[in-house]
Every structure is written in structure tokens, then in C-alpha cells.
Amino acid sequence: MDNLFSKITVTMKVNLGIALMFLPALVFAQKINQKEIKRSQALAKAVTIIRDNWGVPHIYGKTDASVVFGLMYAQCEDNFKGIERNYLYQLGKQAEVDGETNLYTDVQLQLIADSTDAIKDYNTSAPWFRKLLDAFADGVNYYLYKHPEVKPQVFKHFEPWYALMFTDGSVAATETGGLKLSETKEFYSAGPEKLGAVTGQPVKNIYDMVNERETGSNGFAISPSRSASGHALLYINPHVPFYFRSEVELVSNEGLNAYGAVTWGQFFIYQGFNQHCGWMHTSAYADVADLYAEKVSKKDGKWYYEYDGKLRPVTSRKLSFKIKKGDEMEQRTITGYYTHHGPILGSRDGKWLALKANNRSYNALVESWLIIKANNLAEYKRAMNMVSNATNSTVYADDKGNTIFWHGNYIPKRNPKYDWSLPVDGSTSATEWQGVHKLSEIITNINPATGWIQNCNSTPYTASGTSSPDKSKYPAYMAPDGENYRAITAIRILKDAKNLTLDGLVAKGYDHYLAAFDDLLPSLFNAYDAAPDSVKQVLAEPIKILQQWDRNTAIHSIASSLAIEWGTLMMKALPPPQTDQESTFITRRFQTLVKNVSAEQQLAWLNDVLKNLQSRFGTWKVEWGDMNRYQRPDDGITFDDSKPSIPVGLTGSGFGQLPSFQSRTLNTIKRYGYSGNSFIAVVEFGTRVKAKSIVNGGSSFDPASKNFADQEQGIIDGKFKDVLFYKKDVLKHAQHTYHPGDYFKQ
């Protein structure tokens, strides 16, 4: 230490640098002021964080605001990078880190959500809710103040209104009405005189998007008549990129007592439960955002659009971007255009497309908070009655035995004579929205007589078998009637299920059957039967293996390897759907596919699979677990065949498997999982809540922590840990107890 101080006296530059390392109060880069520090220190004293033996933070505070403060601090301890990344996206600032790669994603997000609106919402927010918003920002800023070694890429200081830019916890939270990023790029990268002359591209094939990340989910609710205990059960199974959310418990003296998954950077539990009820959100395909085709013209150097026979001026707003260029930062301004319908996101066939949506909403954030505090069905419905959540359906269960499914929440009223899945005419008032549907008007399934509810991002009209909602009672825009193979499997396993326990429901949720191959393989077998002998000789053994396969994936299954590799080539041949709604008709599209792909092509793809496997592994007889692996890299992104990994007998949900493990080669020979099952929970609502859960890998993001990979085998095998919901149980399994700001290392 004497040597250190002798060096400090040599130069003022070194003096300042060393001081900043050891004295957080002097870290001016974090921009926290003394008023914020004092406020945060008071909140920190009112919060206790208990990390259990799995690393899960249980956050106890006197007030709701103090718990929010503690939650954000704990999130930062675990994954500040994930929090900042989410806000780079939501605020349209990814180009500051990624350069040109994400510039037009930023353009799209800045067009869709104006930060000045979020600031206005903050300034006019209810006093009780403003306390939560302040606590949100204070929790992050206090963490940065106490951890000067953490270097934010962009955000040196979080503002309380940031939370109002990120009001939906879904992985697919931004609605664009079916308009794709390429269309935004084409429109806004063109010169001013070319605007309106650009023709957009078709909707991207849904399976190309799935190859990037899973965005589906499974939610099951079991009524007391079907459970062994006589209590309602809830199964929570979102499919998202691995490590997308954290597992937490929030408890305050103001009635908050909730457990579940929180999306990084948010302060409400997105999917979870409290002592009385639980909620599983699945991505809804209700049409909640529309594109308006605007007829534009230019007059005296200004843009106008036609509306009810008159010309209205197109408004504009300057969008500002910083773009990383090596070690430099380029400043760029892009002019965004708007009609009264909303921002112009792109164009097709010479018509500008304006988006009308509800992507950023003060009420949506309030609704999400009130949901986690609802202690009964009436309070839960009171929150849902705000009808402000634009992307989610809800599977619900409670301690009174209620099981309910709501398809969507925020659904605009429209004239049903129009096809709202396509851009509508923006030049007439006849296409204007007519308000928002009440909760009582949307597709709802309450306590179905069949005793079960399933939603796997498919049609709500088969959610409960014969007790499903009646399609004829609802307008077409409320829900497409498309089915997928996960839903077919869920219906099969739930319709006759009885005496279900928590473990029994988990086993149902981990069904390995790939229902898509019921449609795909017969076509391949027919092609083989009709093939010439020369082809049969080459393919005889692999065809026999596939014919004998029970269509369940397994670690030691060669058939799984052959089928999944071949089926992936088949899926790439699916014609792109023309709308988001059309993309939900998975079973129908597969059935059409097998009729349109020639027998010769199907057999050729199987032969390609054999050659590819032979080239990669030295034999085509590769067991699925030998090529399909789980590995959690220290940096989260660099997979390595030479490093330890775990065999996985699961696959992605595209072929109809309920549990999802989306994998691919990542500069590797073997396939590695990166998306699918993340946080899963199963809950029983009796006089006391009983629950089990599992997360991908572990709660910690520190490779040196025992909680970095302690749950990896459990999520692969479907072996869940007991949830420690009651404080008495938490204390028995506590490994760290501290206040925000205290030293902590997992």
C-alpha cells in the first residue's frame, strides 16, 4: 500500500485514476448526484436481499418502491449487460455499440416510440407509480455508483422514464403490423425523391425467424377435477433465448408477494404467481397493429397524403443516431415521417405504410404491476380491464379453483368487412379504429367443463377440447384459426389426464413426441417405395430406421438425428406466408408442403443428410445426443466442441415438441442450444402455494459461481427444484443475506 501511495504522488493523472477506482463517490462518469445517493442509501437500508442455495434473489422491503429498488440492484448484480442491451434496443441506440448492423432496427424503434411521450407520461404519472419509476432508476444508478468497475457501453445514468419505453415483457414485444425490417431499411435508406417508390418484400418465412430464436410458449391450466390434490395447477413454459429472464421473489409490507420470471431491465414479474393466483403469458396472434396504405404526393416541396378527399400534410421528426465506426462515432440524422395513423415504417407498391399500434403504453406498465399484486380473480380482472397489453394471451389459475384463458388483451375494434391482416386503405375514415374492445368482449374461456386449458400459440378455438370458445361469436381479427403441432400434442396428452400432480404435469410438459412427422414421414416413405432400386439400395437402412422410429426424440436415437436434419431441409422449402396470421397455420402449411415437394427431392435431401453427417462425424449413424449438446460458454457466445458439454434429447418446437431446445452449429461440428426452454414453473394453488421451477444453466452469470450451471441437467431432464416461496423456507436455504450496496459475490 505504501508503494501505491508513493506512485500516487508522482502524477496527478495517476492520483485521479486510482482514486476513482476506490472511491465510488468520485466516479463522475456515472453522473449520480448527492440527492440520488442519499435517497438510494435510505432505500437500501429498507431492503434485504436473500440469495437462496440456487442463487435466486428473494427481495424483502418495507414498501413496493423499496422492493423495486432492490430488484433492479439485484438484476444489475447478475446481468447489467443484459439490462443495458434491452434498453439499447428499446431506445433505438444499438448502433452506438453495434454500428450499421442494427441501425435500421434503431430507426424502426425510434419511429415507433418517442421518448418525449415517455417523459410526459412520467411527469403526469400517479404519485404512487412515480415512486416505482424513481426506484427503478435509483436501483440501477446506485449499483453503478457502488461498482465503478462496471463500464456501461452507453447508459452512464438511467432515467426513471426509461421504464416507460419498455412496457411489455414479451420477447416479441414490438408490433409492426407485419411490416419487416428490410422494408424500413429500403424506405429510409433511399434518397428523399425515391420515397414512396419502393416495393416491399414478402413476409419472411416463419421458420427462418425460428432459426434465430424461439418466440413461442406453452401454458397449461388444470382444474381441481383433474388434479390429484383437488387444487388448480398452472404450467408456465415460455420459449425464449436462453438466459432472457431472471427468477426472483418480490415481497413488501404493502401486500406484494410474487414469484416468477422478470425480463432484464423491468420491475414486474412477467410470468409467475403469488399466494393466490398465477399467470402464464403466451404470444398472441390477435391482430393488434395495422398498416395503413397512404396515398402520398409532393406539392411545393412538401409531402401530403389523401384522406376523405382532402390533402393532409405529412408531419416529420428528426431522428438522431450515433453509429460506431471503429473507434470513432458518426452522428447521423434521419427524417421520420408520420400521418395521423402513425409512423411511416416502409412502403409497398408505391404507397407509404403507416403503423397504428400500442407498442409503448403507460397503462400497459401499470397493468403489469397491478397483475402481480392481484390477490383474487376480481382484482386480476380489474388489472386486465385496463386492456393495454398488446402482445399477450393469458392462461390463469387461482386458489379458488378457477382456470381461465384470455386470448389477447388490447384489441382494437374495427369494421369486420375489411381484411385487417393486410394493409388497409389509409385514405378513408371507414378504416379507422372504433375504440378498444372491453375485456368481456375478447375471446375468453372460463372454467371449461373439460377441466383443462392449453395454449401453445395456436388457435384459441381448440384450447379446451369440446369446451373451447365458439369461433362464430368473434370477429376474424381477434384470432386466426391456425393450428400448430405443439397444440395437437398438448390436446392429446391433456384430454384424458387425471389425478395430475406437479411432477405429473411436468412430465406432460416434457413430452418428446414430434407430431409434425406424422405428416412428413409418410410422404418420404411413399417416395422411397416408388423409387428405383438404385436409390433404394442407398437409402434402405436409414429408411428402415425411420420406419421403426416412435417419433420421440431421445439421446441415443439415430432416427432423431436423421429426421430432424431432413425435416429442417423440408421446412426451408415452405413458401413464405404472406401475413403474420397466415404463418400460424403450421399444420396446414406442412400438409401442403408434402404435396408440393417432389418425391425425388425428398429422397435427395435425405441423401444430403447422410453425406453431411458422414462428413462431420465419420458416419451417418449419429445418435442425437452426440450431435445435439448443451454448453454454457463463459462469455455466453463462443461454443467449442473441445470443451465439456451435455447430450440433449430434445429439439426445437417447430416439429411439435412441447419442451423446446433450439440448436444449430455455431462455428462447430456439433449443434448447441441457444433458445427455447428458459424459466419453467409448475404451481399448485392450495391453502399454501406449492411450486417447482427450473432455469437454463443457473441463476448466476459468473462462471466461477456454483450457481452458473447447477440447473443445466435439470432443465434438460425435466427435474425441477422446489420453489422457496415462504420466508421460513428461504431462511433455511439462505447462502447470502445483504442490503443493496453491501459487498456480494456469488
Q: In a 3-state reduction of DSSP, which class is residue 168?
A: coil
Residue type, 630: Y
Kindly compute the dihedral angle of the four CA atoms of residues 294, 298, 301, 303, in this order, to the nearest 10 degrees: -10
Whether 678 contacts 239, CB under 8 Å: yes
Kindly compute the dihedral angle of the four CA atoms of residues 546, 673, 724, 255, in this order, to the nearest 10 degrees: -110
Please choose, from the candidates 162, 119, 166, 167, the residue with its C-alpha nearest in 3D space to the C-alpha of residue 139: 162
Please choose, from the candidates 163, 157, 27, the residue with its C-alpha nearest in 3D space to the C-alpha of residue 90: 163
Q: Which residue has the cell 409531402?
A: 303
How far does CA 433 lie from the centroid of its chain? Answer: 28
Pairing of strands 424-425, 290-294: parallel
Please choose, from the candidates 719, 627, 630, the residue with its C-alpha nearest in 3D space to the C-alpha of residue 674: 630
**Residue from 66, 170, 217, 583 carrying the catalytic annotation:** 217
Q: What's the chain's Rg over C-alpha atoms?
A: 27
β partners of residue 261: 247, 271
- Please indicate whether residue 217 is annotated as part of the active site: yes
DSSP category for residue 200: P
Whether 509 contacts 680, CB under 8 Å: yes
Q: Where are the beta strands (DSSP E) in 154-244?
A: 217-222, 232-241
Contacts of 46 (CB under 8 A, 6+ apart): 61, 62, 63, 66
175 is in an annotated binding site: yes
Task: Cell numbers for 8, please give them.
Answer: 500516487
Q: What are phi and psi of 546, to 5 degrees?
A: -70, -35
Spatial separation of the C-alpha atoms in residues 276 and 258, rounded to whole Å? 10
Spatial separation of the C-alpha atoms in residues 480 and 475, rounded to whole Å? 10
Spatial separation of the C-alpha atoms in residues 549 and 563, rounded to whole Å? 9
Q: Which residue has the cell 368481456?
A: 440
Spatial separation of the C-alpha atoms in residues 251 and 725, rounded to whole Å? 10
Contacts of 487 (CB under 8 A, 6+ apart): 454, 455, 456, 457, 458, 459, 462
Whether 264 contacts 490, CB under 8 Å: no
What is the DSSP code string of 11-56? -HHHHHHHHHHH-GGG-GGG---HHHHHHHHHHHHTEEEEEETT--
Separation of first and last alpha carbons in the chain: 27
SS3 per-residue string spanning 282-317? EECCCCCCEEEEECEEEECCEEEEEECCEEEECEEE
Please choose, from the candidates 715, 629, 632, 636, the residue with its C-alpha nearest in 3D space to the C-alpha of residue 679: 715
Whether 335 contacts 343, CB under 8 Å: no
Task: Cell numbers for 297, please give them.
Answer: 404526393
Sign of CA dihedral 480, 484, 486, 487: positive
Element (H, E) at 369: helix 362-373
287 is in an annotated binding site: yes
Binding residues for Ca(2+): 175, 287, 290
Annotated binding site: 175, 287, 290
Active site residues: 217
